[in-house]
Amino acid sequence: MKLRNKKTGEIGWLYCDHISVPKKMTVFSEDKDLSAHHWDYNSLAELNKEWEDYEEPEEYWYYDTTINGVEKITHLEDKEKDQEIGNYFETKEEAEKAVEKLKAWKRLKDKGFRFDSFDVANREVDNVICGQAYFKADNYDREEIEDDLDLLFGGEE
């Protein structure tokens, strides 16, 4: 059974251990990684506080290069390929936001943007990875660069 986390939107699947005492329910992240996240629950009420039933939509939104825009698709033969490259969205707004992020990434790349000098020394303590970003030495508007960086990397922590 597929579930969706009410707060994060993460998709997971439910496993019920009928052998253990007390009986335990575990939700595993749908992440294909073998070290996927999991959450354990001892009661259905506890599980229902964080998770709800989830069914895959019968249609989805994606970026279509042939029309140079966002399109809704109802035939699902390319769904797996679209999901694999991140070109799969449940709403038109999500798809349009992804297109804006791709355009921002292109603008930054054209300005010579690159990351360098990563530091992960105290990752266990503060869970922060530090780095430096560089641009070509041209006359670029600082606010434009900041806006693109905020679009790509800003927001909630």
- Chain segment 47-59, per-residue pLDDT in tens: 889 889 888 767 8
Burial of 65 (0-12, 13-18, 19+ CB in 10 A): exposed
Contact 60, 72 (CB under 8 A): yes
Q: Which of 69, 110, 97 is nearest to 155 (CA)?
A: 97
- The residue from 53, 72, 95 where one domain ends is 53
| pLDDT band with cut points at 50, 70 and 90 for residue 93 | very high
Instruction: Indicate whether this model's pTM tops 0.95.
Output: no
Per-residue pLDDT of 16-36, as tens digits, reads: 876 666 677 788 777 655 456
Of the candidates 37, 31, 34, 59, which has an alpha carbon nearest to the alpha carbon of residue 50?
37
Segment 119-127 mean pLDDT: 58
Q: Does residue 132 sit within a domain?
A: yes
Evaluate whether residue 90 is within a structural domain: no
Which residue range(s) make up the domain with 13? 2-53
Residue 155 confidence (pLDDT) above 80: no
Look at residues 25, 87, 84 and name the one whose alpha carbon lies nearest to residue 50: 25
- 5: three-class secondary structure by DSSP: strand
Q: How many CB atoms are located within 10 Å of the residue 93 CB?
A: 11
Number of domains in the chain: 2
Per cent of the chain over pLDDT 70 is: 72
Residue 75, in any domain of the structure: no
For all residues of the chain together, what is the average pLDDT?
A: 78
